[in-house]
């Protein structure tokens, strides 16, 4: 099953031809891909963006892949991000070293792209199964990611692709606060001439569509100075308010 468009990979590989080939194949599978050619660049990208999985070469100029993996495991942004190590070192001691450093899996060069993709899918199924599920459910909302259709209590919602992707982002993490910058990065990526105001407009349209389907008015909450969050807590009843 192809991954959700929201899934984002950080590929850390200094061999340009291999990086280009892997990027092409990852994007063909529907992933969003950022490429770093060395450890310093990778560390900066990981600090700026949230990734669903990191594919990391062992042999890198400057910071080694092993040291970078160790750093990722000690940083809040990446401590739980799945990491797959790529290496020409196939001996057992090296595999054990990679795994004990914090890698989730280990692929020895030369490898086939289908095998790497299968291992990525397996790691994601273990670490974040909701990101690969064909259907997401949050309160009265259902999102069919295979057909890209959303419903509220069974009623179809007329949403644009960007609005569906926004809804997907919120439904994957109910209650989590997303800043405008995070949403721009996740949904619009590197599209030109996109401003933070774009997020506000898209969320306003999404709210209106949800309201027409009978969803509670503030299901997408605005947290002043922070961003937006999906609130699927049922509204308080009259009996609740008297307690």
Q: Residue 119's domain is classified under what CATH number?
A: 3.40.50.2300
Q: Give per-residue pLDDT as tens, 2-52.
A: 444 458 899 999 999 999 999 999 888 878 899 999 999 999 999 888 888
Q: In the listed set 131, 148, 170, which residue is the last one of a domain according to the structure?
A: 131
Distance in angstroms (rounded) separating the CA atoms of residues 142 and 149? 8
pLDDT of residue 192: 53
- Co-location of 124 and 146 in the same domain: no
Residue-number span of the structural domain to which 221 is assigned: 135-230
- Co-location of 194 and 98 in the same domain: no
pTM higher than the cut 0.85: no
Burial class (CB in 10 A: 0-12, 13-18, 19+), 49: middle
Distance in angstroms (rounded) separating the CA atoms of residues 4 and 82? 16
Distance in angstroms (rounded) separating the CA atoms of residues 37 and 116? 19
94 pLDDT band (50/70/90 cuts)? low
CATH code, domain with 163: 1.10.10.10
For the chain, how many structural domains are there in total? 2
- Co-location of 194 and 101 in the same domain: no
- Co-location of 41 and 127 in the same domain: yes
- Give 236's contacts (C-beta < 8 A, 6+ positions apart): none
- Give 229's contacts (C-beta < 8 A, 6+ positions apart): 170, 175, 176, 177, 178, 220, 221, 223
Instruction: Quote the tokens at residue 198.
Output: 């774009």
Hey, which bits of the chain come out as E strands?
Answer: 8-12, 32-36, 53-57, 83-87, 105-108, 135-138, 141-144, 149-152, 155-157, 220-223, 227-230
Among candidate residues 139, 196, 127, the one with its CA nearest the CA of residue 167: 139
Residue found by looking up tokens 């739980």 in the block:
80
Q: 3-class DSSP state for residue 164?
A: helix
Q: Give per-residue pLDDT as tens, 153-187.
A: 888 999 988 898 888 888 877 888 888 888 887 78
């Amino acid at each position: 099953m192809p991954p959700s468009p929201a899934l984002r990979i950080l590929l850390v590989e200094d061999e340009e031809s291999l990086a280009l080939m892997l990027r092409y194949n990852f994007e063909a599978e529907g992933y969003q891909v950022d490429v770093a050619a060395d450890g310093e660049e990778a560390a900066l990208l990981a600090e700026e963006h949230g990734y669903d999985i990191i594919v990391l070469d062992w042999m890198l100029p400057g910071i080694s892949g092993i040291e970078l993996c160790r750093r990722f495991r000690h940083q809040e942004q990446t401590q739980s991000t799945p990491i797959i190590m790529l290496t020409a070192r196939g001996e057992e001691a090296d595999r054990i070293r990679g795994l004990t450093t914090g890698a989730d899996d280990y692929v020895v060069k030369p490898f086939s792209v289908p095998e790497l993709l299968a291992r990525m899918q397996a790691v994601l199924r273990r670490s974040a199964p909701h990101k690969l599920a064909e259907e997401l459910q949050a309160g009265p909302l259902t999102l069919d990611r295979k057909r890209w259709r959303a419903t509220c209590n069974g009623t179809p919602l007329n949403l644009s692709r960007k609005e569906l992707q926004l809804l997907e982002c919120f439904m994957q993490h109910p209650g989590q606060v997303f800043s405008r910058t995070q949403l721009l990065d996740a949904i619009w990526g590197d599209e030109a001439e996109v401003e933070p105001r774009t997020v506000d407009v898209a969320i306003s349209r999404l709210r209106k569509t949800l309201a027409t389907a009978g969803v509670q008015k503030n299901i997408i909450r605005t947290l002043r100075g922070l961003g937006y969050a999906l609130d699927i807590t049922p509204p308080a009843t009259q009996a609740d308010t008297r307690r």
